[in-house]
Structure 1
Amino acid sequence: MTTDLSTIATGLFEKMRATNPLVHCITNYVAMNYAANVLLAAGASPAMVHTPEESGEFAAIAGALTVNIGTLSPHWVEGMVAAAKSANDAGKPWVLDPVAHFATTYRRDTVARLLKLNPTVIRGNASEIIALGGGQSAGQGVDSGDPVEQAEEAARTLATAQKAIVAVTGEVDFVTDGTRNVRIAGGSDLMPKITAMGCSLTALVGAYTAIAKDQAFEATIAALTNFAVAGSIAAKSANGPASFMTAFVDGLHNLDAATFAGTARIEVL
């Protein structure tokens, strides 16, 4: 099974590179530039469109939509809702990143509103997923205070309730559809030291679901594996967070299928 998933993930990596999918990203101010560069380096085409006057129209054009609630405002929320509704109407996958949704009433209400629009994939850190699953998390703001393994049961519960793929990312990632469960290892301990890494990963999940909308589980695994492999490569040459950022983008750009397959660490549970 692990070999099969690794083969599928490698095939999706090659397909994503060859397809250059257009990804509609509604993300936060902090993440925009880095997330766009990550998508470009990985082989996708980013579009940062958020205003409600055009986000609904654009979501129907793009291959996939990603919604990150990192820096909320009423106008942006209306853009998110319009885009998600349009993606659903057009049969396009969309990915929700519920950044620190537990921190304030406004964030909780916004995420509840978006969850009703049935995201294809929900990607968050352990604290975010535990809280979405109804548990008590130790998160503070955007940072996770919980290990990934403590979020696995909440992820399965959430995936079943939402009929969505749930990805919990951290030192070792966890992906579930409520029945199938996978862990993905790799990356670097420098990743949490850099802002926008998780936001960029959400964007990359969007790129993979764009080219495999009927394989959202496998597409999510492929995206997380791509990120982990590039992180492992970047860690070999980085001297700290700043040099890691550059090495990571280069690693995404230079990655080939043989290295992807040879470095992937996917474990089926």
Structure 2
Amino acid sequence: MNMERVGQLLEKVREANPLIHNITNVVVTNFTANGLLALGASPVMAYAKQEVADMAGIAGALVLNMGTLDEQVVEAMLIAGKSANDHGVPVLFDPVGAGATPYRTKTAQTMVQEVKTAIVRGNAAEISHVIGESWEIKGVDAGEGKGDVVALAKMAAKKLGTIVAITGKVDVITDGERTYLIRNGHPILTKVTGTGCLLTSVMGAFAAVDDDVLFAGAAALVCYGVAAEQAAQKTAEEGPGSFQFQFLNELAIATPDDVRRKGVLEVME
């Protein structure tokens, strides 16, 4: 039943073509926009503080990504986030590199305090630093860490009052009570910059079309992982450059049937 619903949500995203407002980092802007277009969503990248409130107010979802930070970006994110909250637009936050520097960590913590988020997505290190816990981090990549990722995700969800997704070898998404594990994806995703950032935006597209934001986030993780697996299989001898192009193709051509056959979504009791 769950996989049937995941496939239906993929179709719903493509039919609805939701407008996803991204305030993201300069490294991934093009890849994120192309990924959302391939999926069937409609991306907009608006950063000026003079317009972000208006844009966020009409979007299907707002995605805030702090990959490349400065004062103006932070101000624009806060303005957009509060406008989205006022208009009932789900806000997804990606605390890229939280824990790498004090400024980055403080910015992430300010964001979750001042903006009501629907989903916070990051790796284990980022999420742990957002809630003031300790976890290894190197640059913007998670260290190996020795903690219990499911326990960390649940603790963060309860502490922040939001849905938390921790992505890695196995993805975990939880509201603190209901928890899903997603066992799709491929290690080559880590060899292409921006795949995590695009994932948060794809989760935004799914959250824009379904009121059950937790399941929508889980469905996005499954579809994203299946697309990555199919792209990796088709470019197995070619390396990350070919994978990146094929991955965009798979976001566009992966079918609900592909998702139903290959998706691995586990409900934790």
Under TM normalisation by the shorter chain, which class is it?
Answer: over 0.9
- Larger displacement relative to structure 2 (80-89 or 48-57): 48-57
In 2, the alpha carbon distance for the partners of 1:172 and 1:105 equals: 28
Aligned-residue offset at 1:148: 9.3
What's 1:246 paired with? 245
2:187 aligned partner: 189
For structure 1, the residue ranges without an aligned partner over 5 or more in a row are none
Q: Distance in 2 between matches of 1:125 and 1:191?
A: 14
Amino acid at match of 1:5: N
CA contact (8 A) 1:175 1:182 kept: yes
Deviation readout 1:82-124 (Å, 9 max, x if unpaired): 0000000000101000011112222122112210112110000
Among candidates 113, 124, 127, match of residue 126 of structure 1 = 124
Q: CA deviation at 1:128?
A: 0.9
Tell me: CA distance 1:257–1:147, structure 2 relative to 1, closer, same or farther (3 Å): farther
Match of 1:223 among 220, 225, 233: 220
Q: In structure 2, do the counterparts of structure 1 residues 147 and 246 end up closer, same or farther at CA, with 3 Å as the change threshold?
A: farther
Rounded to whole Å, the distance in 2 between the matches of 1:149 and 1:182 is 18
* Structure-2 separation of matches of 1:249 and 1:148: 33
Q: Once the two structures are superposed, what CA deviation does each residue of 1:148-201 show, in whole Å capped at 9, x if it has no partner?
A: 973221210111122211101111111111011111112111010110000000
Q: How far apart in 2 are the matches of 1:22 and 1:140? A: 34
Structure 2 counterpart of 1:250, one-letter code:
N
Verify the 8 A CA contact 2:7 2:255 in the aligned structure 1. no
RMSD (Å), alpha carbons:
1.3
Contact 2:98 2:125 in 1 (8 A): no
List alignment gaps of at least 5 residues for structure 2.
Answer: none
What is the deviation of 1:135?
2.1
**TM-superposed deviation, 1:147:** 5.8
> Letter of the aligned partner of 2:74 in structure 1?
V
Query: Normalised by the size of structure 1, how large is the TM-score?
Result: 0.95
Report what 1:206 is aligned to: 204
Aligned to 2:149: 151
Partner of 1:53: helix, strand, or coil?
Answer: coil
| 8 Å Cα contact 2:109/2:130 also seen in 1 | no
Runs of 4+ in 1 over 6 A off after TM superposition: none
1:245 Cα deviation from its structure 2 partner: 0.1
Letter in 1 for 2:32: A
Aligned equivalents of 1:26, 1:33: Cα separation in 2: 12
Q: What residue in structure 2 maps to residue 62 of structure 1?
A: 59
In structure 2, what is the equivalent of residue 18 of structure 1?
A: 15
Distance 2:63 2:123 in 1: 16
For residues 25-83 of structure 1, the C-alpha deviation after alignment (integer angstroms, 9 at most, x for no partner) is 01000010001111011110100111211111100011100000000111111110000
Kept in 2: contact 1:65–1:206 (CA 8 A)? yes
Q: For residues 148 and 38 of structure 1, do their structure 2 counterparts lie closer, same or farther at Cα, with a shift above 3 Å needed?
A: farther
Measured in 1, the distance between the counterparts of 2:106 and 2:208 equals: 28
Partner of 2:111: 114
Q: Tell me if the contact between 1:118 and 1:162 (Cα under 8 Å) persists in the aligned partners.
A: no
1:190 is paired with a residue whose SS is helix
Which one-letter code corresponds to 2:130 in the other structure?
L
User: What letter matches 1:172 in structure 2?
Assistant: V
> Which residue identity is paired with 2:207?
T
Aligned length: 265
Task: Please give the secondary structure, in 2, of the residue aligned with 1:211.
Answer: coil
More displaced 10-residue stretch of structure 1: 63-72 or 5-14: 5-14
Q: Distance in 1 between matches of 2:169 and 2:152?
A: 17
- Name the residue aligned to 1:98: 95
Taking the aligned partners of 1:183 and 1:264, their CA distance within structure 2 comes to 11
Assess, with a 3 A threshold, how the Cα gap between structure 1 residues 147 and 207 changes in structure 2: closer, same or farther.
Answer: farther
Matched letter for residue 173 of structure 2: V
Change (3 A) 1:75 1:53: same
